[in-house]
């Protein structure tokens, strides 16, 4: 995450794609929350790598949706309201509560209320944990 932050600090327009050796969705979610556009497994084919880089360069808003991993022990995804999903999406894009509020035309306090509720429903301890769980359950991309 620190590398992603430093790269984006040096070049806010950088389009970072993480290369990973394992299906570490928690780590990937943290990197995406810090500003990475997505990730590929180190065993990705040349064609997949080329397509991903081409797409990332062609579209400045592009993000690679991670593969959804659902663990049997995680059970079914909790039910979130549409607004809670929007707040979680904002978090997954690394936006602050104030930025999410501006996007959704909500006060920062209202965003915090939605965040607290979704943390409770997901069983998350903080934003990064909520985003990681959101990726695992396929609630955000």
Residues 54 and 81 reside in one and the same domain: no
User: What is the average pLDDT score of the chain?
Assistant: 80
Residues 18 and 50 reside in one and the same domain: yes
DSSP secondary structure letters along 9-24: HH-TT---EEEESS--
35 Cβ neighbours under 8 A, 6+ residues apart: 4, 5, 8, 16, 94
Residues 77 and 54 reside in one and the same domain: no
**Any domain includes 63:** no
The answer to whether the beta carbons of residues 75 and 47 sit under 8 Å apart is no
CA gap 93, 36 in Å, rounded: 9
- For tokens 């997949």, name the residue: 48
CATH of the domain at 94: 1.10.10.10
Domain region containing 45:
2-58
Which tens digit of pLDDT belongs to each residue from 14-35? 888 887 766 666 677 677 777 7
**Any domain includes 141:** no
Please give the pLDDT value at position 99: 95
**Total domain count for the chain?**
2
Residues 89 and 118 reside in one and the same domain: yes
**pLDDT in single tens digits along all 141 residues of the chain:** 778 888 888 998 888 888 776 666 667 767 777 778 777 777 777 777 777 777 777 777 777 655 443 343 455 678 889 899 999 999 988 899 999 999 999 999 999 999 999 999 988 888 888 888 887 777 886
**Comparing C-alpha atoms, which of 2, 67, 68 is closest to residue 34?**
2
**Comparing C-alpha atoms, which of 101, 95, 104 is closest to residue 127?**
95
CA gap 113, 45 in Å, rounded: 43
């Amino acid at each position: 995450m620190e590398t992603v932050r430093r790269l984006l600090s040096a070049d806010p327009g950088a389009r970072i794609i993480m290369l990973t050796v394992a299906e570490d969705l928690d780590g990937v979610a943290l990197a995406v929350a810090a500003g990475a556009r997505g990730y590929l497994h180190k065993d990705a084919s040349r064609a997949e790598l080329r397509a991903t880089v081409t797409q990332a360069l062609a579209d400045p808003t592009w993000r690679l949706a991670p593969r959804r991993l659902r663990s049997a022990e995680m059970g079914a995804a909790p039910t979130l309201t549409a607004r809670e999903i929007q707040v979680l999406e904002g978090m997954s894009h690394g936006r602050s509560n104030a930025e999410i509020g501006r996007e959704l035309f909500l006060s920062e306090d209202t965003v915090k209320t939605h965040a607290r509720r979704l943390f409770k429903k997901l069983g998350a301890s903080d934003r990064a944990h909520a985003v990681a769980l959101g990726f695992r359950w396929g609630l955000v991309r």
